[in-house]
Amino acid sequence: MKKILSIAILALLFSNCNGNVKSENGKIPNKKTDTISISEKKECDIPQEIISYMSSSKEFDLLLMKDLKLLDEYVNTPLCSIYARGDFNHNGNEDVAIIVRYKGYINEAYPNYNFPFLIIFNDYKNGVKPIIIYKTGDYSDESEKTVIYDQFEEGIFSYIQKAKVCGEEVVRIVLPEKSTFYVYWNSNKSVYEFINSLDEDFCEKIKGSINSNEAKRNDDLKSLSDDFSITGTWKSKCSNENDSQFLMYDGNEGDFYMKDSKGELIAKMTTKYNAEAKSIEYLGASIINSKYQYFNWNIDIKMNTPIAVIKKGDNRKIYFEWKGFYNSKTKKIEFPKNPFNQSNNTIILYNCDY
C-alpha cells in the first residue's frame, strides 16, 4: 500500500510540470510581479530507479504540494525545480539530485519536524545509494544542518538546478531574493561540499578540487608497484581475528571472508583480482549466514561484479576502496559500508603473509 501511495504522490507532483499549478478552486494562483522564471529546460520525469527506491524508503518522504507554497509565490512551475540531473561527481555518469524530507535528522529545537534535505544519487544506473548533503565549511557549525532553506508552515524557500560553474557541473541552490549556493564534488575528499556564490574564492575551490583530483587520479594509475601481486592474506589489522579478510592465491583468485562488526561471518565468497581494472570482482558465495539470505547471492549479484578497487600500493599494503555488491534485481547496493571499517570506504589493507 505504501508503494502505491508513494507512486501516486509522484504522479501528482510531476504530472503538470510543463504548465502552471492550479489551486483547489481550479484557478491559477496570483504570482508576485517579481516572479522568477526558470529559463533552464526542466526534466520532470524522475528515473524509474529513483522512483522505486523512494517508494520503498523508510528514511525519506517525497515532497507534497503544500511543502512548496512559499516557493510557488516566487518561482514558476516549482514542482520541476526540486530535482536535477547532471554529472555532479565528474566521472562521466549521470547523477540525480532531489529535495526530500529526511526522517533520520533530529534537530534539538524541533525534534518532531522532518526537515527537507538535498540528497544526490551518484551513478544511479549502477545502483541507487543516496548521499545526504549537509552544510560544510563556514556553515558547518550552524544549528540547522540542511542546505535547503525552510520556513516551516510557510513552506520551502529553495529550488535547485543543474549549473555549470567554473567549467564544472554543480547543483545550484537558489533562495529567491536572497542568495545562491553551490553543492560541488570535492574529489580529493570524495564528498560533496557547500559554498556560497558570494565567497570570493568559490571558483578557486571548485576548480582546485577538480584539478588536483586529476593529478591524483593520474598518479593512482601508476601507483601500484611494477611487481605487484595480489597473492596473500589481506586484512586491515593482522592481529585481529574478527577482521574480514581476503585470501588470494596464485592466479589472482581467492576467498573473501566478510564479517560484521562483531566478527560474525556474513558470507564466504570466491573473488578474483582484475589487474587491468585494478578491481576485486565477485564470483559467487559458498557459505551465507542465514541472517543475510534476504537476497539471492548467486543470482541477484552477477558474476564479475566489482566490489572493490585497489587505488595504489605494493605487495605489503594496498589502498583499498570498498564499493559494495550491486543487486541487479533491486538496483540497489548491498552492504554499502566497508566491512573492514564502517566509517570509511577507503582504507589500508596489509598483507599478513609478509
Q: Where are the domains of the chain?
A: 2-220, 232-351
pLDDT of residue 209: 52
At 6, is the secondary structure helix, strand, or coil? helix
Q: State how far the alpha carbon of 259 is from the alpha carbons of 253, 324, 350, in Å.
A: 19, 13, 17
The pTM of the full predicted model, rounded to 2 decimals, is 0.51
pLDDT in single tens digits along all 354 residues of the chain: 444 444 444 444 444 443 333 333 333 333 333 333 333 334 457 888 988 998 899 999 988 777 888 877 777 644 567 889 999 988 888 999 999 999 999 888 888 899 999 999 999 988 899 999 999 888 888 888 999 998 888 888 888 999 988 888 999 998 887 788 999 988 767 789 999 888 766 777 776 554 444 434 434 434 678 888 999 999 988 888 888 999 999 889 999 999 988 889 999 999 999 998 889 999 999 999 999 999 999 999 999 999 999 988 888 889 899 999 999 999 999 999 899 887 778 888 999 987
Tell me phi and psi for residue 286, to 5 degrees. Answer: -105, -30
Tell me phi and psi for residue 242, to 5 degrees. Answer: -90, 0
Q: State how far the alpha carbon of 107 is from the alpha carbons of 57, 130, 336, 342, in Å.
A: 21, 21, 26, 24
Q: State how far the alpha carbon of 317 is from the alpha carbons of 160, 234, 236, 354, in Å.
A: 43, 8, 9, 10
Cell numbers for 115, please give them.
526537515
Cell numbers for 314, please give them.
605494493
